[in-house]
Structure 1
Amino acid sequence: MAGKGKYRIDGDRGKLVLGGFELPFPRSRTGRIVTGTLLVGGGFLGFLPILGFWMAPLGLLVLSHDLPSVRRKRRRIAIWWRKRYPQVKRAGRG
């Protein structure tokens, strides 16, 4: 399921690759679901110190690895975004 793009989940190495950054990623399905849920929950509390709104999209990315319903929503949003804003270059593409 991991693509070859700059933003992907490398399940073999257990890393979440975000451009040049690599973050450790739980190898178990349960661990990924718990991590994704906590990130989304922390994103809703982004107005508090330390937590940030950036956590919600990252949590959805983590959840989309294991939950087909979240994966479908993520793909629909990506397709909608590309149709709505075709002039916006993709991240990492020049």
Structure 2
Amino acid sequence: MPSSEWFLYLIRCSGGQLYTGITTDVERRFSEHKSGKGAKFLRGKGPLELVFQQQVGDRSAASRTEVRVKKMSKSDKEKMIISGTIKPAQT
């Protein structure tokens, strides 16, 4: 049975770009990205560094939070990484 707890995560590419995603298992998903089996956006952009992860609730809340973070400026994402937290999207 899949976990009902979802996480938002950010990965930094070698060029400094930030990739945002959601998953129920950050370690597994990051391993997939590093092996080239994850998002096409990250292929060939290694080494990859997992720079942020936070539990954000159920799938619906995670999806809303992901959309909100993807709309943020890079400088706001950097501030979020430094602070180590983001407020999940409201249900």
Q: RCO (CA 8 Å, sep 6+): is it higher in 1 or 2?
A: 2
Q: Which has the higher strand share?
A: 2
Q: TM-score, normalised by structure 1?
A: 0.26
* TM-score, structure 2 normalization: 0.27
Greater CA radius of gyration, 1 or 2?
Answer: 1
More helix by percentage: 1
